[in-house]
A = this chain, B = another copy of it.
């Protein structure tokens, strides 16, 4: 039985949405059991404890904005307890839709980095122009600054993620820069480029620009956390602005509204192609344990997928693969 710890508090839409996803998952996948952390009184009203569901009472909730040290004092919080259950080997992986900052602090502190990993990185999967082809980007915000060695580690972990979780056979790996030529970019990018080349990193393709990373040809893109965060949020922002503009275009006049009636199946297909919710959220790669962070505003569909990623991470043994020497050189 695979045991997943779920932090039930701190999501934008409340625990009932998460419970909905969990019930669906319990129905579908018979080899998974859940330990739910949160206000027991509330949770007991939403779901019954049983063979595959247990509830651990945790009254405290980690607020959206929390400093690393403050997290450590919140030992009675659902997030702290959920992460600790992985540390204590009571569960095989942890999933939360709460504070990203809190989750990174907690997972880094409680689970610690895998030996040889200089920095854990937050890994996100972006939908691309190619149908059902995701791009793995990390770090998207666990750190502000990163060294070339950090970026090298991200290449290694991102490659394993693309290979074992997204089933890409020989993932192409790129460094994010402000130009494709070697030597372009901030120092850590220039150095990481060299390291990846010198150590003959499998299928390292050089620099990529932010303009092209979502064309479906780029499997893994490595970047320092600050730039990765800008890339993530610019992508979200422009996509959401374009969606508003599409709506505006269809409501421009009586005729364009009729146009929508004819065209909507095409646009529904576009929505499917661009649905980031199928990737479930972000993953903290590099810590001693499976640690997944669902979007704060996850609906049941998104949270279901986040559970599924958590399971896949556990089953694939990706943490051991990151840890193992076999793959360290590549």
Q: Interface of A with B (CB < 8 Å)?
A: 65, 128-129, 141, 144-145, 176, 178, 181, 185-187, 209-215, 225-227, 229-242, 244-246, 248-253, 255-256, 258-267, 269-270, 273-274
Q: Is there contact, CB below 8 Å, between A129 and B241?
A: yes
Q: How far is the CA of A235 from the CA of B239 in the complex (A)?
A: 9
Complex CA distance for A217 and B147, rounded to whole angstroms: 35
Given contacts A144-B186, A230-B230, contact A256 B245 (CB under 8 A): no
Chain B residues, CB < 8 A from A209: 233, 237
- The answer for the CA separation of A309 and B122 in the assembled complex, in Å, is 41
Name the distance in Å between A89's Cβ and chain B's nearest Cβ: 33
Task: Given A242-B239, A259-B266, A270-B246, decide whether A186 and B145 contact each other with a Cβ distance below 8 A.
Answer: yes
Q: Which residues of B contact A141 (CB under 8 A)?
A: 178
Q: How far is the CB of A250 from chain B (nearest CB, A)?
A: 6
For A145, the closest partner residue in chain B by CB is B186
A253/B230 contact (C-beta < 8 A), A211-B236, A241-B129 known: no
Q: Pick from B65, B238, B245: contact of A234, CB below 8 A.
A: B238
Which partner residue on chain B sits nearest A263 by CB separation?
B259
Most chain-B CB neighbours within 10 Å: which of A210, A233, A266?
A266
Complex alpha-carbon distance, A246 and B248, angstroms: 14
Closest Cβ of chain B: how far from A242's Cβ, in Å?
4
A267 / chain B contacts, CB cutoff of 8 Å: 249
Bound together, the chains give a CA A309 to CA B143 distance in angstroms of 39
Nearest chain B residue, comparing its CB with the CB of A274:
B245
Complex partner residue of A256 from B212, B226, B263, CB under 8 angstroms: B263
